[in-house]
Structure 1
Amino acid sequence: MKSLKIAALAGVLMASASPAFAQDLYPLTFQLKWVNQGQFAGYLVAKDLGYYEEAGLDVTINPGGPDIAPEQVIAGGGADVITTWMAAGLAARERGVPLVNIAQPFATTALEMVCSEESGVETTADFPGKTLGVWFFGNEYPFYAWMAQLGLSTDGGDDGVEVLRQAFSADPLLQNQADCISVMRYNEYKQVLDAGIPEDSLTLFNFADEGVGMLEDGLYVMEDRLEDPEFVEAMAAFVEASMAGWEYAEANPEEAAEIVLNNDMSGALTLESQIYQVNEAAALVGDTPALDVEAYEQTVATLLSAVSPDNPAITAEPEGAYTTVVTDAIE
């Protein structure tokens, strides 16, 4: 059920607008990390069902893709708020883009590694000598932190692991190119199951359970925007309405999946896949959008311990990387 605070915040926004725009909705551009899919169902639902308008907002949702970095989009003024993984947000902040986490709808991680029955991998002790598929472009950090924790070289050989630069699909496992691959619980894992591989034949490792979890889809804005009280109020309304969208999606996964399909620009999504994805994504959403400080600290520790051969995500403890000013306003 939508909180009455949405209407209250809408009133505050409308009252605080300048006379020339008193009748207008507060405009916000929201940049997604990836293409429109069930991963973002709560936001698409909130827009489609009018939750944002009820909150006094005119929200434009821009899909992402393989060639779109939300951190660059917002740094260039192309968005007011983005959703991205904390690794990318903290890395951008250290490199001079002052991003701040204002809310963390996804409370747990969906990043996992799945191994085929043929690989013979049942525990991490079976990793040496195996080929593991790894996503890069900022997604590799938990993997390298994990291997460092296990004391395994990533240069191959009988005592280490061979790293396969994996595309964003399950093909390396399905085509026997890798013993284990990276998957998102709501996406590539379903591809493995849809290929007819019995779930009970697979070995699955969750990165958070292995102690190298990273917070995923959080909401980030540029630091200087938080100096504007009206913008803070708008973001509180946005977060509140978005959480209402997620609540609706969780209770009505088929309807939410239909909304996702109506926003699919590829034409490749199916209702079945999106019902599955909506259910899995909604299960990641916490009871509150407030950032869990312990999960934040685990993310930082993971990033600092990741020995990446390309470049480290961060080299020092971040300062000022998150704020509770927005979520405090809606709790």
Structure 2
Amino acid sequence: MTATPQLLLRALAAAAVCGALLAAPATAQAAEKLRLLTSWYAQAEHGGFYEAKATGLYGKAGLDVEIRMGGPQVKGMQLLLAGEVDAILGYDLQVLDAVEKGLPAVTVAASFQYDLQGMMTHEDVRSLDDLKDRVILVSTSGRTTWWPWFKAKYGADDAQAKAYTFSLTPFFADPKIAQQAYPSSEPFQAQEKGVPANFFLFAKEGYPPYGTTIVVTRKTLEEKRAAIGAFVKASMEGWRDYLGNPAPANALIKADNPKMTDAQIAFGIAKMKELGALDAEGRTSVGQMTGERWKATRDYMVGAGLLKAEADWTKAFTTEFVKDLSVRLD
């Protein structure tokens, strides 16, 4: 029996379908899932990660990233070490402390070239040297991070430090009070209240840590090395794009944190640009870290009694994913 043209076409089509089905498992790959826990409620300072998710940068990198919002009761390092999340937005001093305790945390990139912690004062204060006789509100965590640095540099003493409970009522009530602040938060609240205030970034005065770093465990690093590399690159590209067009990320930020307003987000973005936080005012790629900066943080901690001198500080970070990274802000 001679095959008709129609039969030949059907046979070829069937063969093509079978071939595609057989080839699919070998070529199609499911996106790698990663769970990121942020350091606080969703805000502009997390914008690059939300931008990478909203605009598909993670998807293009072969990643399925879930962003979980942090908060005051969320213990990020504990969740990371327990395997509940794959990465957290962390802090250099936190990771160095973990390494000293033998915990397998490692920093793989830095969103900000500066830690954004600083001091908010009333408008009559012209420099941090003017605070020697002022009450300074310091949080519990601040007493074991930036406060020892501040005391050593500016001659402050513990008698000046009073508890900061994250209420600005004392600051508004007393023109002689200064307090710790984050550039997009407390200064924005002061502006909304109509209270003139100055903000001083500690990093501009020599405080060495990076800010909003990406921290993973060594197990995750070993098992998902390619995915972590892709995640770092896509996240830093997200930061680049966020400063140009923040709308996609902002929609996700407000969905996670309905209390976040457009005005506060815009204020936060303006402050990040003003401070040159992402690229050290154009001097480096977004995400960059160096051993010299990490050693400076280590040296500060040792000098302040926050870290044992014998702790292997080099285990706290790797520049593997950022040393050749070139993500520049336009």
TM-score normalised over the length of structure 1: 0.80
Q: Which moved more, 1:282-291 or 1:269-278?
A: 282-291
1:179 to 177, 180, 183: 177
Change in 2 beyond 3 A, CA 1:322/1:55: same
- State percent identity of aligned pairs: 26
Q: Which moved more, 1:56-65 or 1:162-171?
A: 162-171
Give the whole-Å Cα distance in 2 for the aligned partners of 1:185 and 1:90: 25
Q: Structure 2 matches for 1:158-169, cutoff 5 A?
A: 162-169=160-167
Give the deviation of 1:292 after TM superposition: 3.0
Alignment partner, residue 238 of structure 1: 231
Give the deviation of 1:178 after TM superposition: 6.2
Change in 2 beyond 3 A, CA 1:95/1:177: farther
Alignment partner, residue 209 of structure 1: 204
Q: Structure 2 matches for 1:180-199, cutoff 5 A?
A: 180-198=178-196
- For the 8 Å contact 1:250–1:279, the answer to whether it is kept is no
Which amino acid in the other structure matches residue 165 of structure 2?
A
- For the 8 Å contact 1:110–1:185, the answer to whether it is kept is yes
Give the whole-Å Cα distance in 1 for the aligned partners of 2:266 and 2:296: 31
Which amino acid in the other structure matches residue 112 of structure 1?
G
Change in 2 beyond 3 A, CA 1:80/1:256: closer
Alignment partner, residue 70 of structure 1: 76
Alignment partner, residue 14 of structure 1: none
Change in 2 beyond 3 A, CA 1:34/1:132: same
Is 2:147 the counterpart of 1:143?
A: yes
Is 2:273 the counterpart of 1:271?
A: no
Change in 2 beyond 3 A, CA 1:52/1:32: same
Is 2:299 the counterpart of 1:321?
A: no
Give the deviation of 1:205 after TM superposition: 2.6
Give the whole-Å Cα distance in 1 for the aligned partners of 2:242 and 2:47: 7
- For the 8 Å contact 1:102–1:322, the answer to whether it is kept is yes
Give the whole-Å Cα distance in 2 for the aligned partners of 1:139 and 1:106: 22
Count of aligned residue pairs for this structure pair: 293
**Gap regions ≥5 residues in structure 2:** 1-24, 280-284
Q: Which has the larger radius of gyration?
A: 2
1:122 to 126, 139, 162: 126
Give the whole-Å Cα distance in 2 for the aligned partners of 1:169 and 1:284: 26
Give per-residue Cα distances to partners, 1:84-135, cap 9 Å, x unaligned: 1111121122223221111112112321112114xx6434443333210112
Give the whole-Å Cα distance in 2 for the aligned partners of 1:212 and 1:180: 18
More helix by share: 2
Q: Where in structure 1 do 4 or more consecutive aligned residues deviate above 6 Å?
A: none
- For the 8 Å contact 1:213–1:298, the answer to whether it is kept is yes
Aligned to 1:173, the other structure's residue is in SS state: helix
Give the whole-Å Cα distance in 2 for the aligned partners of 1:25 and 1:218: 24
